Amino acid sequence: MLLTITYKGSDTQNLGFLLHKNPYRAQSFDMSFGKAYVFYPEVSDAQTTMALLLDINPIDLARGKFGTSEGGLFDYVNDRPYVSSSFMSTALVRIFNTAMQGKCDKMQALADTPLSLSATVHMLPCRGDAELSREIFEPLGYTVEYQTYCLDEKFPEWGDSAYLDLTLTGTVKLSDLLNHLYVLIPVFDRQKHYWVSSDEIDKLLSHGEGWLAAHPAKERIVKRYFNKQRAFANRAIDKLLESEPNEEETDLEADDAEDAVVPDPGREKRISLNTRRLEAVRNAVIESGATSVIDLGCGEGKLVAKLLDEKQLTKITGADVTIKALEKAKRYLRYDRMPPYRKQKLTLLQASLTYRDERFSGYDCACVVEVVEHLDPLRLPAFERVLFEFAGPRTVVLTTPNKEYNTCYEWMKEDLRHGDHRFEWTRAEFAEWVGHVCDSFGYTAEISGIGDMDEQVGTPTQMGVFTKCV
């Protein structure tokens, strides 16, 4: 049973620091089911590879020597010593527990940085469904490659074996990669080497924190993780839904606060910034000529409601990471009482902006309104690829706060406009990011402002309209 992890870049020997395992010395570990070995078959400035090898005795497994005193879990003839399974997950958490927590006293900054990593899982069970590996790992931002093997070259009609070698490549923090492997390897095998108890729910939620709740295939992952233990799977799914992050949910109270600027005495009626923002986005969508549009981070559905009024649009989708937000959107849109002609062009779906999702594809236009600033800056590259590379709509309309305008708000006590913002861009920073996106993914863009203009700091909201190059 073999797993390798390769780090490419500069000073890649530092992989040893991150894993807390010396790259110049092979190490062995006694496990309850056999032996585990960690060694580095390749160490250089440009590329370093760590290998985790498990040595398991199938006879001891069958006799029940490991894990239980009530007899074995497996027959004498079994694939357990060779197949990547829950044994590998157990070894990962035992040997690399500190690395999985993202801790490295000597190089914490490197541990917190996404690195160019690849992992190869040898002999991963696929049971005739090799494409499952793409469904599971591609939404996490990995490039997925796999190699299958014929059962017997002399009898090609027998087809491929039930195992494959899986290689994942991506720019990801090492701790995230290890936790992804810990949770997802057993999803393919579906045979635990120990009796599953309710404690497994907490393990899953702990190692899936920050990514599993937003995974588009989370229910399938959880059900396969627990295999036939439906009660445990259902409890885990319920807890995931309860703990979903609210990063992309519209903060209505904060939107109201944005309008709390000293009013112009010559103005009879003030139009709220949120209303002006939604009007500007709707106008940009219509001017683009789009007939289909997806609102990514739709919140309670205010933009979706405006888009539904446009006859030009025949397909409208609202997506949000939280079920709670989608339920609010249904109520706001009066979905249950919506006329059939409006309901037939509307779809609401749960999804995350930082995980590749094929449901984002096929739209003329995508709207991202006051959402990007809620994302962790480290997740911006993943967001860019999900939206501009994989979804690739003809037009993208994106709005975000102008940080410079914050000086106009007397109520502000912090540097960021809202408490749940991870960052905010100045006009120059936004223009730089827009230029980066255009250069990287083949778009042109126009930047404009929304809201009252201040000669010194501009407008409160900045909007970028991206158009895909033909």
Give the orientation angle of helix 199-207 with respect to helix 218-226, to 10 degrees. Answer: 140
Q: Is the pTM of this model over 0.85?
A: no
Choose between 460 and 410: higher pLDDT.
Answer: 460
d(CA 332, CA 320): 15
What pLDDT does residue 35 have?
A: 87
d(CA 468, CA 382): 19
Confidence of residue 76 (pLDDT cuts 50, 70, 90): very low
For 274-292, write each residue's pLDDT tens digit: 889 999 999 999 999 999 9
d(CA 123, CA 133): 13
For 36-51, write each residue's pLDDT tens digit: 899 999 999 999 999 9
Lowest mean pLDDT among 52-61, 105-114, 439-448: 52-61
Mean pLDDT of 169-193: 84
Percent of the chain at pLDDT > 70 equals: 82
- Residue found under tokens 């944005």: 258
d(CA 412, CA 416): 8
| Superfamily (CATH H level) for 2-195 | Hen1, N-terminal domain (3.30.1610.20)
Q: What angle do CA 280, 283, 303 make, to 5 degrees?
A: 70
* Fold adopted by 252-468: Rossmann fold (3.40.50)
What pLDDT does residue 429 have?
A: 96
d(CA 198, CA 226): 10
d(CA 166, CA 186): 14
The pair phi, psi for residue 153, each rounded to 5°, is: -60, -25
Domain boundaries, the chain: 2-195, 252-468
Mean pLDDT of the chain: 83
For 400-429, write each residue's pLDDT tens digit: 999 988 888 766 655 777 778 889 999 999
- List Cα–Cα distances, 123 to 84, 269, 307, in angstroms: 6, 68, 49
